[in-house]
Amino acid sequence: MSNAILIARENGVLTITIDRPERKNALTPAMYQAMADALASAHEDAAVRAVLLRGHAEIFTAGNDIEDFLKNPPTGGDSPVMHFLHTIATFEKPLVAQVAGAAIGVGTTLLLHCDFVYAADTARFAMPFAQLGLCPEAASSLLLPRIAGYQGAAEKLLLGETFDAAEAHRMGFVTRVVAAADLEAFVAAQLAKLVALPASSLRATKSLMKRASEHEVKTQMSEESVHFGKMLLAPEAREAFTAFLQKRKPDFRQFD
């Protein structure tokens, strides 16, 4: 298990904390695997009634570790990132996200699979896949248009620009925006409410809400993965990643 993912169990809640602040909580394969394993453990543990996923007050996650992506591109459907995404998409118990600071790339798209997303008023979101020569993942090309409408999703996925918590709430994938100083206490109170409810009722209700789209989500996620894997090895992505590491603007004029 990655030491950059902290796992704690208390009062019926399993908490997954992304803990790599020195790299802006950028995610590596080991971190994805650790989170997938934690969710699988929570599924099997009857004492766990809900799961909390969080980062730090300054950063949720900057998304995938770019240097790692350049060295070890995840091109297979059995990669740790795909294992995590399929696990979070099919997780049966209540899943709460506590978001403060930046949530970039998969840091935003994974939220589409959470049941509650509570964001600090300081939170910032972005899905810069096209800017990196890539395409959406985590079934976000299916789920975001359904949640936010086609045009709203197109603006975020095609331009990849940063937007704030208030706009994320208007789009529909943030449940509530809370003052940063109050976020932790507010989320703890919401989790206490969940833990006090019948676990079977929560699981059944979540299953009924998600059942109709289960196959579509799985299919879309797999199709995105095929495109993402190919594009990750293409010259456009290499240019984008190299420019990012060299702190310059990428030049895509050389590509058709």
What are 64-105's pLDDT values in tens digits?
Answer: 998 887 777 776 678 899 999 999 999 999 999 999 999 999
Q: Please give the pLDDT value at position 94.
A: 98
Maximum Cα interatomic distance, the chain, rounded to a whole number of Å: 58
User: Which pTM value belongs to this model?
Assistant: 0.96
The reported pLDDT for the residue numbered 75 is 66
DSSP string, the chain: --TTEEEEEETTEEEEEE--GGGTT-B-HHHHHHHHHHHHHHHH-TT--EEEEE--SSEEE--B-HHHHHHS---STTSHHHHHHHHHHT--S-EEEEE-SEEETHHHHGGGG-SEEEEETT-EEE--TGGGT----TTHHHHHHHHH-HHHHHIIIII---EEHHHHHHHTS--EEE-GGGHHHHHHHHHHHHHHS-HHHHHHHHHHHHHTTHHHHHHHHHHHHHHHHHHHTSHHHHHHHHHHHTTS----TT--
pLDDT tens digits for 30-75?
999 999 999 999 999 999 999 999 999 999 999 999 888 777 777 6
Residue ranges per domain, the chain? 5-180+195-199
Q: What is the average per-residue pLDDT within 143-161?
A: 98
Please calculate the CA angle 215-217-223 and round it to the nearest 5 degrees.
100
Average pLDDT value for residue range 147-162: 98
Of 59-73, 170-184, 225-239, minimum mean pLDDT range: 59-73
Tokens of 156: 């975020």
* Confidence bin at 231 (pLDDT 50/70/90): very high
Calculate mean pLDDT across residues 112-137: 97
Nearest to 155 by CA among 165, 146, 145, 147: 145
Confidence of residue 1 (pLDDT cuts 50, 70, 90): low
Q: Which architecture, in CATH terms, is 5-180+195-199?
A: Alpha-Beta Complex (3.90)
Of the pLDDT bands very low, low, confident and very high (cuts 50, 70, 90), residue 213 is: very high
Given a contact cutoff of 8 angstroms between Cβ atoms, the answer to whether 85 and 221 are in contact is yes
Q: Supply 100's token pair.
A: 């403060």
Residue pair 9/47 in contact by the 8 Å Cβ criterion:
yes
Amino acid at 163: F
